[in-house]
């Protein structure tokens, strides 16, 4: 059986229930266990208020992980959804509070428009809590159909967000310096 070539994928991590920063760190630990996948970089942890919600919610904590994977996009998405479920994620509605949210933001330079998978993530260019940590990892990143992501920063500048601290990576994870990804 021929294995897929390695692809760089970016995964958005978010949570606003329980110990959200701790859950994100634990999720990164689980990402390191995915088959034929390596976590190669992590952004800082960011904190922002919930947006487009009908009722007050706790603030969200977000980060982005860069992965080097041989999983195809659908298999990676399935693994992310299984990981969410393992962390107690219950889908009660759009923008509902969550114990863990894992979004496949980008998968190489590929585009997917399937009922269960849209890549690039359809709102990644509209959210400061996605763009800032993503661009921290790869400042010159472009996305298929969107172009240079840095060009979208002015449109999200009014969204309140605070960079907190580096997301704690497990000791066993070999991460590349952020600068290595930008090349």
19 catalytic? Reply is no
What are the structure tokens assigned to 66, written together? 């860069």
Q: How far apart are CA 116 and CA 26, in angstroms?
A: 25
Q: In sequence order, what E strands does 75-176 have? A: 101-107, 112-114, 117-119, 142-143, 147-148, 161-166
101 catalytic? Reply is yes
30, 47, 101, 127: which is the annotated catalytic residue? 101
Residue 84, helix vs strand vs coil? helix
25 beta partners: none
Give which of 42, 55, 43, 74 is closest to 16, Cα–Cα: 55
174 catalytic? Reply is no
What 70-73 contacts at long range (C-beta under 8 Å, 24+ apart), as own/partner pairs, is 70/3, 70/4, 70/5, 70/6, 70/7, 70/36, 70/37, 71/4, 71/34, 71/35, 71/36, 71/37, 72/4, 73/9, 73/104, 73/107, 73/110, 73/112, 73/117, 73/119
30, 47, 103, 127: which is the annotated catalytic residue? 103
30, 54, 72, 98: which is the annotated catalytic residue? 98
89, 123, 140, 174: which is the annotated catalytic residue? 89
98 catalytic? Reply is yes
Kindly list the catalytic residues: 89, 98, 101, 103
């Amino acid at each position: 059986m021929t294995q897929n070539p390695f692809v760089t994928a970016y995964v958005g991590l978010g949570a606003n229930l329980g110990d959200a920063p701790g859950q994100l760190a634990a999720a990164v630990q689980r990402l390191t266990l995915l088959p034929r996948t390596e976590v190669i970089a992590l952004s800082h942890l960011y904190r922002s208020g919930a947006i487009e919600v009908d009722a007050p919610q706790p603030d969200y904590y977000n980060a982005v992980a860069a992965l080097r994977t041989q999983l195809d996009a659908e298999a990676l998405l399935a693994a992310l959804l299984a990981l969410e479920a393992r962390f107690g994620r219950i889908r009660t509605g759009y923008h509902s509070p969550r114990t863990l949210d894992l979004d496949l933001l980008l998968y190489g330079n590929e585009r997917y428009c399937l009922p269960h998978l849209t890549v690039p993530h359809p709102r990644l260019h509209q959210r400061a809590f996605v763009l800032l940590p993503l661009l921290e990892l790869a400042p010159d990143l472009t996305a298929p159909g969107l172009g240079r992501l840095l060009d979208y920063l002015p449109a999200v500048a009014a969204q309140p967000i605070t960079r907190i601290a580096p997301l704690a990576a497990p000791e066993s994870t070999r991460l590349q310096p952020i600068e290595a990804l930008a090349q």
